Amino acid sequence: MPSSPVTDPASAELAVVIVNFNTGDYLGRCLASLEAHRGQVAMDVLVIDNASRDGSHTAAAATHPWVRLIENPENVFLSPAWNQGLRETAAPFVLLLNPDVELWTGTLADLVAVARSNPRAGIVGPRVLNPDGTVYASGRSFPSLIDATGHAFLGTVRPHNRFSERYMLGGWDRNSERTVDWVSGCAMLMPRAALEDVGTFDEGFPLYGEELDMATRLRDAGWSVVFTPAAEVIHEIGVSTGRSRRMLLMHSNSVFRYYRKHRAAGWRRLTLPLAWAVLRVRAELESMRGTVRG
């Protein structure tokens, strides 16, 4: 391994953009995993810090001096910071990565190879593991209104209900590569050409729903989303956001905005008040349970 795993930003094949907010030791572990699982790819790593108060960004940058660091004076949330990172990088491929993610198996070069072998893939997502080693259901379908409602109310209390099974592609062990509707936003590799085609992230989704919106826009423009087990990450959910009522309400607002933007055409506009009520009730129930789930 060379002394520095990064190259000049102008000549990098892969840019890695990480948005950080009070993640403690997780950011440093994320960066260490990039170094260990880089493979043969020239990368440019950019950390955008959203006014962290815990010193996680400066500590990680001191330990990994090959990282570029931008410090925002205030928390601009996720989508605006991702767009900031896209403007500050030039590589033909961009990996948008949460700071509470660690590369576990495979390499960044493997992800780029999958993208190159699927030239119309607007997003390539790796297999995602929970911290206990179980497989997280990244790679899902766009749910129907019925499945979305059923999953919203039954997903946490009876995970294997028929609505959640259809939405989460139940029965698939995620050991195979396949085209899906969308993948978890914790780790998304995107060709810059796709972003130039459909535009950057919609900042009306500041924290949740941005990956779902992007995947929908890509599909509408003729791109696909590919899930691959060629690389595997571990994701510790909620390190930056927590599981507060405020975050749950923000999540429900984003899901409602997505439904209004992409799914409520024609007669479905009549369902908007019902959708708003369903999402608000779900957020309050999840707040009582203390969980945030997709």
pLDDT at 212 over 50: yes
Per-residue pLDDT tens digits for 30-71:
999 999 999 999 999 999 999 999 999 999 999 999 999 999
Q: What pLDDT score does 2 carry?
A: 45
Q: What pLDDT score does 239 carry?
A: 76
Torsional class of 239: left (φ above 0), alpha (ψ -120 to 50), beta (otherwise): alpha
Ranges 6-15, 145-154, 194-203: which has the least confidence: 145-154
- CA-based nearest residue to 47, from 1, 92, 6: 6
Return the structure tokens found at 109.
Answer: 């070069």
Largest Cα–Cα distance in the chain?
60
Lookup result for tokens 């006014």: 51
Per-residue pLDDT tens digits for 229-256:
999 999 997 776 656 777 788 888 888 8
Mean pLDDT across the stretch 10-37? 96
- CA-based nearest residue to 188, from 137, 219, 142, 225: 225
Under 8 Å between Cβ of 245 and 252: no
Q: What pLDDT score does 189 carry?
A: 98
Burial class (CB in 10 A: 0-12, 13-18, 19+), 176: exposed
CATH of domain 9-139+174-240: 3.90.550.10
Higher-pLDDT residue of 232, 284:
232
Domain boundaries, the chain: 9-139+174-240, 242-294
Q: What pLDDT score does 292 carry?
A: 47
Predicted TM-score of the model (pTM) = 0.91
Q: How many CA atoms lie within 13 A of 176 on its CB side?
A: 7
Distance between CA 57 and CA 62 in Å, rounded? Answer: 9
pLDDT band of residue 1 (cuts 50, 70, 90) is very low
